[in-house]
Amino acid sequence: MVSGATTTKRRSGRPLSFDRQAALKQAMLLFWQYGYEATSLQCLTEAMRITPPSLYAAFGDKKQLFLEAVELYTTGGSASAISIIQESPTAREAVWNLLQTSAVALTGTDTPLGCMLISSATNCSPASADVQETLARLRIANETALREKIQKEIDEGALPPEPNAMALASLYMGVIQAMSTQARDGASRTKLLAMAEASLRAWPETTLARTPPKTSNQPFCD
């Protein structure tokens, strides 16, 4: 799931002398840890174990490399936020699954803490406005999917009309953003799960539906 992220195919010519996918994963981890603008080309080439000309030949430039890294992040073997929302039987279960999965993924032991979609382009110069817009589109797409699922249940009478679907979807995606920040600050998985459970008290039903989290090393986030 990458709505808005675009990638550039590598230029034709001599075959690559390195594992492109492995190099891309190293770039993703750097961008995830330090952010788009703070990650230098020198750091990238050292981590990817390639030369600057090889980076440009394989990925185009730093911006295109970042966009490919975002695509890898959102599709790299873990369930996306949208798929979790769509596959959950109810809107409440969708929220609970999102929150639990986030708590697990944001505190992974073999990946940077927090969410790449939230933290990698928080503070950027005007030159990187399009990068920020790309990540915003991805987050908005997740929130829209949740809002539509909630609205469907309101329309069917399964949920009361207040609070409305927009408010509920915004609330829980905001909780996930807060969980990402907490994780970056060193919050434990136990603390994030407690936040998740506490936030569900705002749901307009009385029973807390507990479903097993879909564990993942990579968060989709908000």
Same domain, 154 and 71: no
Same domain, 91 and 188: yes
CATH at residue 132: 1.10.357.10
pLDDT (0 to 100) of residue 122: 82
Confidence of residue 208 (pLDDT cuts 50, 70, 90): very low
| pLDDT at residue 205 tops 90 | no
Buried b (16+ CB within 10 A) or exposed e, 1-38: bbeebebeebeeeeeeeeeeeebbbbbbbbbbbebbbe
| pLDDT one-digit tens code per residue, 101-149 | 999 999 999 999 999 999 998 888 888 899 999 999 999 999 999 999 9
pLDDT (0 to 100) of residue 219: 53
| pLDDT one-digit tens code per residue, 54-104 | 999 999 999 999 999 999 998 875 678 999 999 999 999 999 999 999 999
Same domain, 45 and 92: no
pLDDT (0 to 100) of residue 121: 87
Whole-angstrom Cα distance, residue 61 to residue 16?
A: 16
- Looking at the domain assignment, is residue 140 inside a domain? yes
Domain boundary among 30, 52, 75: 75
- Whether the pTM exceeds 0.75: the reply is yes
Would you call 164 helix, strand, or coil by DSSP? coil
Same domain, 61 and 157: no
- Looking at the domain assignment, is residue 222 inside a domain? no
CATH at residue 35: 1.10.10.60
- Looking at the domain assignment, is residue 3 inside a domain? no
Domain boundary among 7, 40, 75: 75
Q: Could you tell me the residue range of the domain that residue 37 belongs to?
A: 20-75
Same domain, 63 and 87: no
- Looking at the domain assignment, is residue 138 inside a domain? yes
State how far Cα 189 lies from the chain centre: 17
- Looking at the domain assignment, is residue 211 inside a domain? no
From the list 138, 131, 108, the residue with the least C-alpha distance to 221 is: 138
Mean pLDDT of the chain: 87
pLDDT (0 to 100) of residue 210: 41
Domain boundary among 75, 102, 121: 75
Are 59 and 10 in contact by the 8 Å Cβ rule? The answer is yes
Whole-angstrom Cα distance, residue 210 to residue 135?
A: 30
Confidence of residue 212 (pLDDT cuts 50, 70, 90): very low
H/E element, 140: helix 129-155
Are 119 and 180 in contact by the 8 Å Cβ rule? The answer is yes
Same domain, 112 and 156: yes
Q: How many domains does the chain have?
A: 2
Mean pLDDT of 41-46: 96
